[in-house]
């Protein structure tokens, strides 16, 4: 029988004082009209907003605006069943798509006074706080990998990356961190 212990572990993340893996979490991708999005966010205890490229947060949960009709919903891993039930009830009768992408992605945190500079070693966005303020989120690239980037604090960012690219992204960031501190 095949040993699945490696599959249960998180992906490899290269060591760096500025980059760390975040705890496993529930990830749901919601697509739907304003009524479906409002109902889903309310069911999660999150405020509704249609402000482009912004995240809303409450009680350890978040809803990230990824497109006019798309939200990435994040919550602690232990809440998957509870959230699924809440969302099923809230979205009943509304046109929507809700997909569990929990196992597809993992999260990294990049933090420290040089976090924006470090990310700009592979990300083309202007990460100055005036252009990319706290709460802003978007899909972008880091080196050659697609990521979701969310500024969670003045000097901290949350990256959502596909598990298969986590080692690559963390190695790119670790190399850039070595170069910044050299």
Which structural domain range is residue 22 located in? 15-181
pLDDT tens for each residue of 9-29: 567 777 678 899 999 999 999
62-81 pLDDT per residue, tens: 999 999 999 999 999 999 99
Instruction: Look up tokens 């009768």; give the residue.
Output: 93
Q: Which H helix or E strand runs over 96?
A: strand 96-100
For 98-131, what is each residue's pLDDT tens digit? 999 999 999 999 999 999 999 999 999 999 999 9
Residue whose tokens read 């939200």? 71
CATH of the domain at 37: 3.30.1360.120
Which residues have CB under 8 Å from 25's CB, separation 6+? 74, 75, 76, 77, 102, 107
> Which among 132, 135, 137, 136 has a CA at the least distance from the CA of 147?
137
What's the total number of domains in the chain? 1
The 8-class DSSP code of residue 141 comes to E
Q: Is there a domain that residue 5 lies in?
A: no
């Amino acid at each position: 029988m095949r040993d699945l212990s490696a599959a249960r572990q998180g992906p490899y993340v290269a060591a760096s004082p500025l980059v760390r893996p975040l705890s496993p979490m529930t990830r749901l991708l919601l697509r739907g009209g304003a009524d479906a999005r409002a109902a889903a966010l309310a069911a999660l205890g999150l405020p509704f907003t249609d402000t482009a490229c912004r995240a809303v947060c409450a009680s350890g949960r978040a809803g990230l605006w990824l497109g006019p009709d798309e939200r990435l919903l994040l919550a602690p891993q232990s809440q998957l069943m509870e959230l699924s039930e809440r969302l099923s009830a809230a979205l009943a009768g509304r046109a929507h798509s809700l997909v569990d992408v929990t196992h597809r992605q993992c999260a990294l945190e990049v933090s420290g006074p040089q976090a924006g500079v470090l990310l700009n070693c592979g990300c083309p966005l202007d990460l100055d706080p005036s252009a990319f303020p706290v709460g802003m989120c978007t899909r972008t690239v880091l080196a050659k990998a697609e990521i979701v980037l969310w500024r969670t604090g003045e000097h901290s960012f949350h990256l959502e990356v596909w598990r298969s690219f986590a080692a690559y992204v963390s190695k790119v960031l670790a190399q850039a961190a070595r170069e910044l501190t050299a």
